[in-house]
């Protein structure tokens, strides 16, 4: 009887030794979920089963993380995270930066920003951080004038000159790629542009490579030092991921580390 029990215990023991620990991470589809899928095998070798929960909006991944339904998320840059923490009274924390996406304005009606007619409708994201980001780019393109041309927190009330009488239309970020056919110009995040099959090289206005907009893996203060989070952070900042980003996205998205 004792030998049989010992045999059973020895048979079960390796299961406990090599069992994976689950890590659930929220992400938007492109490129975030794709990059996470790429590092899955690496984490599996280190005893971490990576579960990716895909979202199509910018609020739920943070809300779910704050409520501890996720262990981490990967989809946002610091200004957006800082604004979310401030307005939602949360304390989510950045872990490591991974990549930078271009933010651009696209049109299916016009091939040059100079062709934009008076009274044109321009669609911009409806969150405070990215409204300002859009308006700064419009100011830099000479299409309107802001009170503080470099302030990414600018809002419509900060427009001091709009000589072409452009109409600013605020839409939820995920809607912008779908609305590009309904407006004259639409500011679209690269992840949604790529998902919609929009060529990011055809943006009429583009902001590239600003370190302020590196996209981060984000966790909570209570789990930022969790070994699973740290293993994922190391994998996301690896040479293999750098090469994957360069090869897969051909310069449309760049490493941010």
Q: What is the chain's length?
A: 257
pLDDT score of 152: 85
d(C-alpha 12, C-alpha 24), whole Å:
26
Tell me the mean pLDDT per 10 residues along the chain, length 257: 55 52 97 98 98 95 98 96 96 98 95 96 94 96 96 94 98 93 96 91 88 95 98 98 97 94
**Interior/surface letters 46-70, b for 16+ CB within 10 angstroms, e for the rest:** eebebebeebeebeebbbbbbeeeb
Place of tokens 């503080």: 148
How far CA 64 is from CA of 26, 58, 70, 84, 252, in Å, comes to 8, 11, 6, 13, 29
The C-alpha atoms of residue 48 and residue 44 are separated, in whole angstroms, by: 5
Closest by Cα among 22, 183, 28, 202 to 99? 28
Residues ≥6 apart with Cβ < 8 Å to 3:
none
Q: Which CATH superfamily is domain 21-102+212-255 in?
A: Periplasmic binding protein-like II (3.40.190.10)
Say what the pLDDT of residue 208 is.
74
pLDDT of residue 211: 86
- What pLDDT is recorded for position 20? 77
Under CATH, what is the fold of the domain 103-207?
Answer: D-Maltodextrin-Binding Protein; domain 2 (3.40.190)
Residue 125 has a CB neighbour count (10 Å cut-off) of 25
**The pLDDT of residue 5:** 55
For residue 194, what are the β-bridge partners? Answer: none
- Whether the model pTM is above 0.95: no
What stretch(es) of the chain map to CATH 3.40.190.10? 21-102+212-255, 103-207
SS3 197: coil
């Amino acid at each position: 009887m004792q030998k049989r029990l010992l045999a059973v215990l020895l048979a079960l023991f390796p299961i406990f030794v090599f069992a994976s620990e689950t890590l659930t991470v929220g992400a938007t589809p492109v490129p975030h979920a794709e990059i996470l899928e790429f590092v899955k095998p690496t984490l599996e070798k280190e005893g971490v089963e990576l579960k990716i929960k895909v979202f199509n909006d910018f609020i739920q991944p943070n809300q779910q993380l704050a409520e501890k339904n996720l262990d981490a998320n990967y989809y946002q840059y610091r200004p957006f995270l800082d604004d979310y923490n401030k307005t939602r009274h949360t304390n989510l924390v950045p872990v490591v930066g991974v990549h930078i996406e271009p933010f651009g304005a696209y049109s299916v009606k016009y091939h040059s920003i100079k062709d934009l007619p008076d009274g044109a409708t321009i669609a911009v994201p409806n969150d405070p951080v990215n409204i300002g980001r859009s308006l700064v780019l419009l100011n830099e393109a000479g299409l309107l004038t802001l009170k503080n041309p470099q302030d990414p927190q600018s809002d419509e009330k900060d427009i001091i000159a709009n000589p072409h009488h452009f109409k600013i239309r605020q839409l939820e970020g995920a809607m912008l790629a779908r609305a590009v056919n309904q407006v004259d110009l639409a500011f679209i995040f690269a992840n949604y542009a790529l998902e919609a099959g929009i060529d990011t090289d055809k943006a009429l206005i583009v902001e590239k490579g600003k370190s302020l907009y590196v996209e981060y893996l984000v966790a909570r203060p209570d789990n930022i030092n969790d070994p699973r989070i740290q293993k994922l952070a190391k994998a996301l900042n690896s040479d293999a991921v750098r090469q994957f980003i360069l090869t897969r996205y051909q310069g449309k998205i760049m490493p941010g580390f």
